Amino acid sequence: MGGGGGGGDGEPEFQVAPLIDVLLVMLIFFMSITTSQVLKIDASIKLPVVKHAEKTKAEEGKDNKVKVSLINISWNGATAQATYKLDDIVIGNTDTEAPVLPNGKPIIEELSARKKSGGKDYRMLIRADEAVQAKFLNTALKWGAQAGIDNISFSGKDK
């Protein structure tokens, strides 16, 4: 009777090829489930601790089809200035009444267009550094209100 492969001393050989196949499938799976929203998060922002936070439907996995605009507000302590980003695009002229994106489009128009294409469940998520003052948060809230967005959430951490 012929036996399976193995070394001459009676110990079975370890097959590497199936292991590599499984690892490649797992890599492709995790790359495909990573959303573009995760890539737009500014890692330099230190989120505030929130005691009574609630998860949104999208975070609970109930509704992953919700369209979201992400506003990152980072803080530069040396200059005491906030920097705003819509997803990963820096917003300019934030001290004026008409802030604009690098392509020259006003932020209010961009948010309005996104809301129209996003449907009734469209929302805006604000991720602000814990050192950002309330007046800078108010600016982002005003943009959302002027664009007609009525579902606005803030991001925080629980620990």
- Per-residue model confidence as pLDDT tens for the chain (159 residues): 555 555 566 777 888 888 999 999 999 888 777 665 565 666 677 878 777 767 765 554 455 566 888 899 999 888 888 889 888 888 887 877 778 888 888 888 988 888 888 877 788 889 899 899 888 999 999 999 998 888 888 888 877
pLDDT score at 56: 63
Q: Which of 159, 114, 113, 156 is nearest to 137 (CA)?
A: 156
pLDDT score at 24: 93
pLDDT score at 58: 53
The structure's pTM equals 0.66
Q: Which of 71, 60, 67, 62 is nearest to 35 (CA)?
A: 67
Cβ atoms within 10 Å of 60's Cβ, excluding its own: 10
| Cβ burial, residue 134 (10 Å; 0-12/13-18/19+) | exposed
